[in-house]
Amino acid sequence: MPGFVSAQPFQTADAPGAPVVHRYATLYEIEGSAAEARDRLFAAGTGVSDSADLTTMVFAPLAAVGEPITP
């Protein structure tokens, strides 16, 4: 999809006793505006699983505050 560089899914690690609000997350690396990328993603009709709870879904654009740290 234009503007999307990569996507990486995550699942929470087991942490006994730790409260978990969201168990899954996907981080998208994009080029350009986060708002435009979000609009393209939703307009693409890629769909959302029927098991997704849309009332708690969070879309939060993040901006880098530094360069990646590599070994």
Instruction: With cut-offs at 50, 70 and 90, classify the pLDDT of residue 66.
Output: very high
- What amino acid is encoded at 52 in this protein? A
d(CA 9, CA 35) in angstroms, rounded, equals: 20
pLDDT per residue as tens digits for the range 11-48: 888 777 777 777 888 888 888 888 888 788 778 877 67
Global pTM exceeds 0.85: no
Alpha-helix residue ranges (DSSP H) falling in 1-71: 34-43
Q: Is 21 helix (H, G, I), strand (E, B) or coil?
A: coil
